[in-house]
Every structure is written in C-alpha cells, then in structure tokens.
Amino acid sequence: LHQPEEDQQILPNAMQQQQHQQQQALAALGSSPLVGFGGSIMGTPQRSMHTYAPTASFSTPQQMMQPQTPQNLMSPMITSGSLAGQQMLSQASPAPMTPMTPHSADPGILPQLQNIVSTVNLNCKLDLKKIALHARNAEYNPKRFAAVIMRIREPRTTALIFSSGKMVCTGAKSEEDSRLAARKYARIIQKLGFTAKFLDFKIQNMVESCDVKFPIRLEGLVLTHG
C-alpha cells in the first residue's frame, strides 16, 4: 500500500485546526454585545421597527395635527382613576343644606298679623257729601282730607272712600276679614243709591309683630346697616 508522506499528513491536520480556531473566534465575536446588537439591527429590521413603534405616550405628526382633548391624551388607567376619585368626592360631599327660617329655629316665635291694607274699585262716581249725611259712622271734612272716613264694628275696620270710586280698607287682622269688610262698605254705598261694584280687590300691605326673645340694639343696627 502507498502511504502518504509525513508532510502531506501534517497539512490536513493543520488546516482542520485553523478552521476550528476560526469557528471559535467567530462564535466568540458573535456572542459579544456589540456584534449581537448590530447583528440584530442589520439582520432583523422588522423587529427593531416593531420595538420602537410609537406607543400611546408618543404622538405622530399626523396625530399632533388633529385636535386632541385632555381625555384623549390621558391613559385609560388614569381616566378610570380620576372617574373613581370624582365618584368618591361626589359621595363624600354633603347634600346642600336648606337655610333655616326663624320659625324652624324657634317654634315659640310666631308672627301675628296686626293690620292689613286692601284696596277695591267701586267703578262709579260718588257724592261724598250725600254719603257723609246719610251713612252711619261716617265723617267728611274736605278741608282736612278729601275722602269720607267710614267705620264698622264687625270686622273692626276703617274705610277711606274717594269720589273717584276708589276705596281703601284698613285695620283688618286677616285677609278674609279685609275682604269681608270691603264688601260691607260696598253694600252700604249701594244702599245709598249708587251703582257700586266690587272690582279689583287687592291686598296692598300687611303688618305683623312677634317677640324675638332677645334685646335689639337699634343704635347698632343704624350704624351697621343705616
């Protein structure tokens, strides 16, 4: 058999060792951070683009050109947290309180009506001299006051009767008494021969009094609110 020479046997072994060393060097270089990073960038561009794609916190130029509201810029977690906080605040806030009136503060303070002033239109011209001469409890002094002053006992009131047909009733303690007294005065005028009617009855003023159960400093009120 023909055996290769010694030089020919050494050459393949040396080439195999050199290739093995090159493979180890390439493996070492491939495992280094720099080469691996570059290899990943150059080898897989799709992955790098996907990794650095715009997220919710980064806006593209097209998105920046569109009008955005603060709700759109906020993340869902923050929005839900803010909504939960608003709900907690709304639940914790007390209901609006109604202002207290003196009646609800102290039931003992009850105002009482003392005088009611009402007006009525009899809708006819009146002869005040004739009324003063023929009606009871009536007085007329044109130099002093240009109206007939008439009084009745039930309800205890006073009426001022003018020649134009207007009448003012004072002294009643309630609205019903004021209306009743005005009707009685109108009936008296009708009995004297006038075509009096009962029109436009209206309460003009009401006077009440009550005990507040504490002293009132009038000078302080004038200086503060005068």
CATH topology of domain 112-209: TATA-Binding Protein (3.30.310)
Is the separation of the CB atoms in 169 and 117 below 8 Å? yes
The pLDDT value recorded for residue 98 is 52
Question: What are the residue boundaries of the structural domains of the chain, listed by start?
Answer: 6-42, 112-209
How confident is the prediction for the chain on average, in pLDDT? Answer: 74
Q: Is the pLDDT reported for residue 168 higher than 90?
A: yes
What confidence tens digit (pLDDT) does each residue in 138-165 have?
999 999 999 999 999 999 999 999 999 9
Is the separation of the CB atoms in 128 and 161 below 8 Å? yes
Is the separation of the CB atoms in 173 and 116 below 8 Å? yes
What confidence tens digit (pLDDT) does each residue in 88-112 have?
555 555 555 554 554 445 667 888 9
Classify 204 as helix, strand or coil: strand
Is the separation of the CB atoms in 147 and 161 below 8 Å? yes
Q: Is the pLDDT reported for residue 136 higher than 50?
A: yes
**Taking the model in full, what pTM does it have?**
0.51
pLDDT band at 84 (very low <50, low <70, confident <90, very high): low
Average the pLDDT over 57-63 and give the result. 51
Q: Give 39's contacts (C-beta < 8 A, 6+ positions apart).
A: 30
